Structure 1
C-alpha cells in the first residue's frame, strides 16, 4: 500500500442510509455537517501505488474558483445547511498533485471538531490545519481538516 493519499472525495449518503465506502478507500467518521442540520457528508480518501500524490488541499468559499493546478471536488461541504436567515454558505474542497512550495505529499488526513462552548482543539503533533471551519457560516460544531505531510529529508 502506498503511504501517500492519492485521491479524496465526499460521500453524500441518502438520508440515514449506511455509508457505502468504495473498495480500497478509507472514511473519516465525522459528519462534515455535524450540528449544522445539513446533509450527512463524509470525507473519504484513497492511497494507491501511483506517482501522483495529493500535495495540497484548499477550501473554496462560495463561487471562488480553484487556483491553477487545483481540481475542485464538486460537492458542497455545507450541502443542506443554511444560516439563521436560511441562506446557504457553500464550501468546496480543491486538491492539487503538483509541487507546492512548503507542501510535500500528504500521508494522512483527520477531522478535528469541538462544540461552541468547548475549548479549541489543536491539530495533533505532525499535522497542520487547513484553516477554514467546514461549518463556516452555518453553525454547528467547529470542524477542521488536519493533514500530515510526508517528512522531508
Structure 2
C-alpha cells in the first residue's frame, strides 16, 4: 500500500536546495522558480496515521496571519521576495477523507495546468503576479510519491 502524506513543511533559504533535513523529503522545484526571491521548497513526511486528506494553495493581496478555518499551514508565503501575490499552502488531516499520496509542482509556460495522469491540478499559479513561468501544483490520492535517489557527497 502507498503510504500517504502525513505532514507538510517548507524550507526557505538564500541558496538553492533543497537541503538534507531528516525526517523530511522535499520536492525539487523551488516555488520561486524563474522569479528570484527566496528559494522555497515544499517538504513532506509519509505515514499511515492521520494523513493529509485535503491540500490547497491560496493567493492573497496581503500577508496573512492565520490559516483559513479548519486548515493547517506553515505560514510561509511561497512567493517570498519575488513580489506578486502572497501564496500559502494549506491542508487538512481529516477523518474519512481520501489520503493524499503525492504532490507535484510543474513549472511551464502554459497558462492552464495540463492534465497529468493520476493527478488532480490545483488551479493556483504559485508565481501569480511575480512573472516567470507558471508553477502548477498537483496532488494525487492514487500515485505514490516518487522516491528520490539521493547521493551524499563527502570531501576527500
TM bracket, shorter-chain basis: 0.7 to 0.9
Q: Secondary structure at the match of 2:101?
A: strand
Contact 1:55/1:106 (<8 A) preserved: yes
Separation in structure 1 between the aligned mates of residue 98 and residue 76 of structure 2, nearest angstrom: 25
Spell out structure 1 runs of 4+ moving beyond 4 A. Answer: 118-121
**Matching residue within 101, 105, 109 for 2:103:** 109
Equivalent in the alignment of 1:11: 11
Q: Secondary structure at the match of 1:45?
A: strand
Separation in structure 1 between the aligned mates of residue 118 and residue 72 of structure 2, nearest angstrom: 25
**Matching residue within 36, 50, 53 for 1:55:** 53
Contact 1:81/1:138 (<8 A) preserved: yes
Equivalent in the alignment of 2:31: 32
Give unmatched runs, 5+ long, in structure 2.
144-156
Aligned length: 140
Give unmatched runs, 5+ long, in structure 1.
83-87
1:8 Cα offset (Å): 1.0
RMSD: 2.5
In the superposition, the TM-score normalised over structure 1's length comes to 0.79
Separation in structure 1 between the aligned mates of residue 35 and residue 119 of structure 2, nearest angstrom: 26
My pick for the range that moved more, 69-78 or 22-31, is 22-31
Q: Secondary structure at the match of 2:39?
A: coil
Equivalent in the alignment of 1:134: 126
Separation in structure 1 between the aligned mates of residue 137 and residue 113 of structure 2, nearest angstrom: 12
